[in-house]
């Protein structure tokens, strides 16, 4: 892709927009960066881009910047049906996401990981596995640094691993990972997509440009994923907790078995630091991606036996009066909460927050079987009570701190108090990390 002197517009100056504008300017493109926020709100961003030849249009968008451009790079936060993006495509302008732009300049084998839940853990584990095996590796995408920072740095790497969201996949055209992984699909982001199927279709685009020379790592236990996988062009490489596989990686009592082209590797799980059924799936997916691209069994096992849990994903906080407290603030949808509930018994579950539009019904059986007390907070409390409140003893709390104290009073010795909200945090907190810190602080005060 030749960018020199090309008229390019970057829409949205969040993290990926800033990185894209910087890269385009470095490549000699004529860059316009536009955002609905004004100079005051974007002061930090403007200082980051100071000294680069970039024209800024702030506080509004100009239609001509879209219809007369050669290329528009759109931030993932901008909905696909935005009128100016429609006008750009009608005018024959190429509209791409930052990952599409980045992929045109990345030469290393790319592992791209998506799914409703588990993306960050799987991406992080995969990156660490490659590094432990001696590959110089870039890890980015929806986690940490934008993917475009890799070609911008000019540094040669041997492997690239990217967490990819459905939003980032909306504007791809040639994005083609050597290994693409789809971990699971459950209802999420229904405030963004017109239907659940539209969300599913966005996720499946990760495989769109793969060929028979590439690999598709897919969850055999997720019927939606497995059904969709049957029509893919790439070589299917499933992972499973429930099925024995002739080709793929699966879990058997105390070990993972990796089978590929008639060869078999056994990887014992007893020493794994990451706990929970969801993490077993994440590890299988990460191992599949890495073993297919040259990693070795012994080095990979050593890494897995020392890899700790990521913050805010089923993180153990402390034990008080024979009750264990776990913080799972990153669980912002029903699917991730289900995995957390599968990992414990005798649970007091703190849930609620800003409702994302999906149904809570998929949690019903697990709540009935495993949750002794349900403590609800935030805007979604009323609807969660309507859908789940009859299944177990249900309580409401005005604040997270009140919920923690109430949970401590209610939970019998041997039980678990779990913050796993199934909702976003924006009704009460800046983000899920602030919610996590408030929970940890409240638990430490008990």
**Residues 66-87, mean pLDDT to the nearest whole number:** 94
Q: Which of 288, 315, 310 is nearest to 111 (CA)?
A: 288
Question: pLDDT digit string (tens) for 190-228?
Answer: 666 778 888 888 899 999 999 999 999 999 999 999 999
Q: What CATH topology corresponds to 7-92?
A: Rossmann fold (3.40.50)
77 falls in which pLDDT band (50, 70, 90)?
A: confident
What's residue 417's pLDDT? 97
| Sequence-ordered alpha helix ranges (H) in 297-417 | 297-304, 334-342, 364-370, 381-388, 400-410
Q: Which of 246, 250, 251 is nearest to 263 (CA)?
A: 246
> By mean pLDDT, which of 223-237, 330-344, 359-373, 394-408 is the weakest?
330-344
Q: What are the domain boundaries of the chain?
A: 7-92, 101-304, 315-445
H or E element at residue 394: strand 393-396
What's residue 330's pLDDT? 87
Instruction: Please give the mean pLDDT across all residues of the chain.
Output: 94
Q: Which two tokens stand for residue 228?
A: 């969709």
| Sequence-ordered alpha helix ranges (H) in 78-163 | 83-90, 98-103, 119-132, 149-153
CA dist., res. 278 & res. 293, Å (int): 23
CA dist., res. 227 & res. 94, Å (int): 32
- The fraction of the chain above a pLDDT of 90, given in percent, is 82
CA dist., res. 160 & res. 164, Å (int): 12
Higher pLDDT, 80 or 235: 235
Domain 315-445 architecture: Alpha-Beta Complex (3.90)
Are domains 7-92 and 101-304 of this chain identical in fold? no
**At residue 410, does pLDDT exceed 70?**
yes
What's residue 97's pLDDT? 96
What's residue 312's pLDDT? 66
Q: CA angle, 236 as apex, 235 and 239 as ends, to 5°?
A: 145
Residue 323, classified by CB atoms within 10 Å of its CB into exposed (0-12), middle (13-18) or buried (19+), is buried
For residues 359-371, one letter each, b for 16 or more C-beta atoms within 10 angstroms of the residue's C-beta and e for the rest, the string is ebeebeebbeebb
Give the pTM.
0.76
What's residue 194's pLDDT? 73
Residue 287, classified by CB atoms within 10 Å of its CB into exposed (0-12), middle (13-18) or buried (19+), is buried
Q: Please check whether residue 59 is in contact with residue 38, taking contact to mean a CB–CB distance below 8 angstroms.
A: yes
Question: pLDDT digit string (tens) for 276-328?
Answer: 788 899 999 999 999 999 999 999 999 999 998 666 677 889 999 999 999 99
**Residues 120-147, mean pLDDT to the nearest whole number:** 94
What's residue 309's pLDDT? 66
**Residues 215-243, mean pLDDT to the nearest whole number:** 96
User: Catalytic amino acids?
Assistant: 119, 142, 189
329 falls in which pLDDT band (50, 70, 90)?
A: very high
Domain 101-304 architecture: 3-Layer(aba) Sandwich (3.40)
Q: Please check whether residue 112 is in contact with residue 102, taking contact to mean a CB–CB distance below 8 angstroms.
A: no
What's the first-to-final CA gap in the chain, in angstroms? 58
What's residue 228's pLDDT? 92
């Amino acid at each position: 892709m030749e960018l020199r002197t090309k008229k390019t517009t970057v829409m949205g100056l969040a993290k990926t927009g800033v990185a894209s504008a910087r890269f385009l300017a470095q490549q000699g493109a004529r860059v316009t960066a536009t955002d609905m926020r004004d100079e005051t709100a974007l002061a930090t961003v403007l200082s980051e881009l100071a000294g680069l030849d970039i024209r800024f249009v702030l506080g509004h968008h100009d239609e001509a910047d879209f219809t007369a451009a050669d290329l528009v790079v759109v931030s993932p936060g901008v909905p696909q049906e935005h009128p100016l993006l429609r006008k750009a495509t009608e005018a024959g302008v190429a509209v791409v996401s930052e990952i599409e732009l980045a992929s045109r300049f990345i030469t290393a084998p790319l592992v791209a990981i998506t799914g409703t839940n588990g993306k960050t853990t799987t991406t992080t584990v995969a990156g660490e596995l490659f590094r432990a095996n001696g590959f110089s590796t870039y890890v980015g995408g929806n986690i940490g640094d934008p993917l475009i920072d890799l070609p911008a740095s000019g540094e040669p790497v041997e492997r690239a691993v990217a967490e990819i969201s459905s939003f980032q996949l909306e504007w791809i055209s040639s994005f083609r990972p050597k290994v693409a992984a789809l971990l699971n699909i459950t209802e999420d982001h229904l405030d963004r997509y017109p239907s659940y199927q539209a969300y599913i279709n966005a996720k499946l685009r990760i495989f769109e440009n793969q060929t028979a020379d590439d690999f598709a790592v897919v969850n055999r236990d997720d019927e939606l994923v497995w059904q969709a996988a049957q029509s893919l062009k790439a070589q299917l490489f499933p992972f499973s907790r429930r099925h024995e596989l002739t080709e793929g990686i699966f879990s058997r009592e105390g070990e993972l078995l990796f089978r590929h082209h008639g060869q078999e590797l056994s990887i014992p799980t007893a020493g794994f630091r990451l706990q929970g059924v969801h993490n077993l799936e994440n590890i299988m997916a990460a191992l599949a991606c890495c073993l297919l691209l040259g990693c070795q069994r012994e080095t990979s096992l050593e890494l897995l036996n020392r890899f700790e849990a990521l913050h805010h994903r089923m993180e153990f906080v402390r034990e008080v009066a024979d009750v264990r407290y776990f913080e799972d603030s990153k669980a912002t949808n029903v699917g991730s909460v289900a995995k957390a509930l599968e990992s414990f018994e005798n649970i007091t579950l703190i849930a609620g927050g800003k409702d994302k539009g999906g149904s809570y019904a998929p949690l019903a059986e697990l709540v009935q079987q495993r949750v002794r007390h349900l403590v609800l907070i935030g805007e979604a409390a009323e609807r969660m009570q309507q859908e789940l409140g009859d299944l177990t003893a249900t309580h409401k709390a005005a604040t997270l701190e009140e919920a923690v104290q109430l949970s401590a009073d209610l939970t019998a010795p041997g039980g678990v108090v779990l913050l796993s909200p199934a909702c976003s945090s924006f009704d009460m907190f800046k983000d899920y990390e602030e919610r996590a810190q408030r929970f940890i602080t409240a638990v430490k005060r008990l």
